[in-house]
Chain A
Amino acid sequence: MSISHCKQNRSTALAHPLVLALIVMTASAFKASGQVTIDFWNPDTGEAVVKVLQQDIQRFEKEHSGVKVNLVNIPWSDIFTKWQTGIQSGNLPDAGIASAAFGASLNAQGALEPMDDVIKEMGGESAFAPSAKSFVEMCKKNGSFFDLPYVHNCVVLWYKKDLLKKVGLPVPQTWDELLAAAKALTNDGVYGILMTSSKSDVTQHTFYSLMLSNGADIVDRETGQKVLFDSPATVETLKFYKELAQYSPPGAGGYDRSEAQAAMTTGKIAMFIYGSWLSGALTEAGPDVLAQFGVAPVPHNKGKGSFMGNLTLVAFKAAKHKTEAKMFLEYLMKNENYVRYLLTDPSSYGPVTEGAIKDPTYSNSPQVKDVRDVIDVVKAQLPNAWVYGMPNPHAGELEGLNVIADVVGRVVLENVSPDQAAKDGAAKIQEIITKK
């Protein structure tokens, strides 16, 4: 070993205690200053949303010295796996954005902190708008909130105004009217209605909305444990879906979300039972495209309702800084911050609080005025809207595995009898919800 090596090693050895001391001192200084950092996982990674959240965080940190918020953007496709691995490794964030279905799953695993104190600070349950009633119910278990309802939307009937006017038919309100309109509108390269049967959320949203509008459901709403999918009402919905599918483009069996949205901008589709969030794609397609479409509640038969999309706020039991995490969630729900979030996409982000709905910054904003008709129809439908599989904690898996879309596909593409497909679907759902 050379002398220079010896010297170097000795100096390194001397430096070690110094470095350690410096690290300890810095850490102590941070602790003494009361610096707290909370991790916030956000799966809603759209540019506008992230920007608003970043601004909220900056303001929050200014108003709450000593608290830092670390915003971690994780796309929806990865977030559930991240939560689950987080639960198993004990490496969860302090808080984040989730959904009712994912919240139910996390709560069933004992991972969530009750949100009752946050809701109390917001003014109690009465702070929520009547339109958010079913959403609020979904976020509770045994009278206690495990999720904080954040925003919601639902599936509606989109129709092309000029095409409907051309055939002289009113906007369909019942199943019979919907079928008649689909038939009348199918001609000259135009298809009466878009009915996908692909293994995708589009098929599930449309079919589940029709199920609700016929009084059917997947599981009971009391316990979430009783599978109702093979009921006569579901079988009837499957038959109706197949009837409507004959007025749909032949390739619609394979359309996923982006293809379905693109198909709507071609002008060749007259109607589509789909989420209020379609307005975003229609607006992007051109300045007048959205104006060509009208919206109405999902036509009903023996029931009422449609699929509800939603976001919730959650705090984790394993959080290191629960108090600060909940303070941040309360801050996000403060009217001025909440309204900024809602305005990033008003047709997708429906408000849950009465305060936000009545806030003139929200109601008089140009963004809201542009999609006022969509917002009104959504608001009218929301009390009857629901999330499939809820309140069963396996609702998220039912969605992820496209169980309902598979059933629809078998009936529409493979001509399996609706009775048989519903029975098989119910058995599959039973298998999933009984898995530990």
Chain B
Amino acid sequence: MSIAASPSPSIPRRLRKIAGLEENTVGYLLIMPTLGVLALLIFLPLLSVVWDSLHNKTFLSTSYKFIGLDNYRALFASPGIWAIVIRSLIWTLFSVVLQVNVGLVMALFLNQVFLGRAFFRGLFLLPWVIPVVVVAVIWKWILNDLYGVASDVLTYVFPPWAHLAWFSDPMLALPTLIAINVWRGSPFTMVILLAGLQTVPRDQLEAARIDGANNIQQFRHVTIPHLRKILLIVMLVFALFNFDNFDLIYLTTQGGPLDRTMTLPVKTYEVAFKGLQVGESSALAVIMLFFLAILSIIYLHLVRITSDTRT
């Protein structure tokens, strides 16, 4: 027990209590503005969404009534909802796994010493800094079957693929979008993992090498154990990012063809702003929130474990 934490026997208990209370009060007062902002910007809208999900509210009528869990019952009874949930999970899983793996390969490459390394670091980061609307336009243009660059190149390289309908073939649309998402997201995982790689102790790698470990063994037994926590956190943060992704999907396919790229955020938007059903879309948002909350709890738990281990 530290000295500061031990109660001084010379101060009466009553005074100590007041002093403690004052200390707490100051603390509470100091966090009040932040709590206020959080309440206004996060908690109130969140409560409002939960509240709306229990009403048959639409944008078409000023009157609405409490209907309990009917919106949820209707959603879970609709045939398409489970497909959308599963698709959202597939989208998230493949995006995260590929973004982290591609990012790691890029980071390993850029962790080597070679001429022009700084240039490649900038170049590899480009897809991440390009606004998503530009990403969507670029890829829709590249992959267009009629006038796209990919079509022209594939005519010579691999003719059977020259006129594939990348965005409109029900089998191809989701893999195409995942590939674009990986292209866009990998540079960011690369930056984080590159920072992690630079903290791998050189002496441990050196020791492993002296013990006869080859490059793969060094990577497996020294680098990966060192990166494990960073990798886990990156995967969880990117799982949150990707599960929540709306813009890229909406700008390229709007959830089509035939809902084959429809994920929970796109469906929520569609029901709210095209179908004008506030209650139903709020219920969808709450379902999304449920998945995001699970991921967030795991993330926070991991962060705590990591910081506990460090201390």
Contacts and interface: CB of A to CB of B under 8 A. Distances in A.
Interface string B271-284: 00111110000000
A254 B165 contact: yes
Nearest to A400: B274
B163 interface: yes
A332 B149 CA distance: 47
A198 B168 contact: yes
A109 B60 contact: yes
B95 to A, nearest CB: 20
Nearest to B280: A435
B254 interface: yes
Given A263-B147, A400-B275, A413-B168, A81 B258 contact: no
B181 to A, nearest CB: 17
Contacts of B256: 198-199, 254, 409
A87 interface: yes
Contact of B257 (A85, A249, A266, A409): A409
Interface string A245-288: 00001111111100100110010110000000000000000000
A251 B257 contact: no
Interface stretch (B41-49, B138-146, B216-224): B138-146
Given A81-B59, A198-B168, A251 B145 contact: yes
B300 to A, nearest CB: 34
Contacts of A268: 146-147
Most chain A CB within 10 A, of B168, B275, B276, B277, is at: B168
A118 B251 CA distance: 41
B170 interface: yes
B194 interface: no
Interface string A68-100: 000000000000110011011000000000000
Contacts of A81: 59, 273
Interface in B138-190: 140, 144-147, 163-170, 173
Contacts of A436: 56, 58, 60-61
A18 interface: no
Contacts of A269: 146
Contacts of A353: none
B142 to A, nearest CB: 12
B257 A250 contact: no
Contact of B62 (A88, A252, A413, A435): A88
A263 B146 contact: yes
A398 B144 CA distance: 28
A146 to B, nearest CB: 16
B274 A251 contact: no
Nearest to A393: B60
B265 interface: no
A414 interface: yes
Nearest to A88: B62
Contacts, number: 105
Interface residues of B, number: 32
A251 B258 CA distance: 14
Contact of A199 (B56, B255, B273, B275): B255
A423 interface: no
A23 interface: no
Contact of B145 (A88, A200, A250, A435): A250
Contacts of A116: none
Contact of B144 (A85, A105, A251, A402): A251
Given A84-B59, A268-B146, A409-B257, A254 B173 contact: yes
B268 interface: no
Contacts of A251: 144-146, 163-168
B270 interface: yes
B253 interface: yes
Contact of B258 (A87, A256, A263, A406): A406
A400 B258 CA distance: 15
Query: Size class of A's contact patch?
Result: 35 or more
Contacts of B173: 254
Interface string A234-254: 000000000000000111111
Contacts of A402: 274
A29 B206 CA distance: 85
Interface centre among B61, B165, B257 (most CB of A within 10 A): B257
Contacts of B253: 199, 254
Given A84-B276, A266-B146, A401-B270, A414 B258 contact: yes
Interface in A100-127: 105, 108-109
A197 interface: yes
B167 A85 contact: no
Nearest to B145: A251
A197 B254 CA distance: 13
A410 B147 contact: no
Nearest to B276: A397
B24 to A, nearest CB: 27
A435 B164 CA distance: 40
Contacts of A406: 258
A262 B147 contact: yes
B59 A254 contact: no
A110 to B, nearest CB: 10
Interface in B269-311: 270, 273-277
B146 A249 contact: yes
Contacts of B146: 191, 249, 251, 263, 266, 268-269
Nearest to B163: A250
A397 B275 contact: yes
A16 B269 CA distance: 47
Given A105-B60, A263-B146, A414-B258, A250 B275 contact: no
Most chain B CB within 10 A, of A80, A87, A252, A254, is at A254
Contacts of B166: 251, 254
Contacts of B276: 80, 84, 397, 400
Nearest to A399: B274
Given A84-B60, A251-B144, A251-B146, A397 B274 contact: yes
Given A249-B145, A250-B163, A263-B147, A198 B257 contact: yes
Given A251-B146, A252-B168, 9 more contacts: A108-B60, A250-B163, A253-B257, A254-B167, A255-B168, A262-B147, A397-B274, A397-B276, A402-B274
15 contacts: A85-B59, A87-B62, A109-B62, A198-B254, A199-B254, A250-B163, A250-B164, A250-B165, A251-B165, A252-B168, A262-B147, A409-B256, A413-B170, A432-B275, A435-B277
Q: Which 9 A/B pairs are nearest by Cβ-Cβ distance?
A: A254-B168, A253-B168, A251-B145, A400-B274, A84-B59, A254-B167, A199-B256, A251-B165, A250-B165
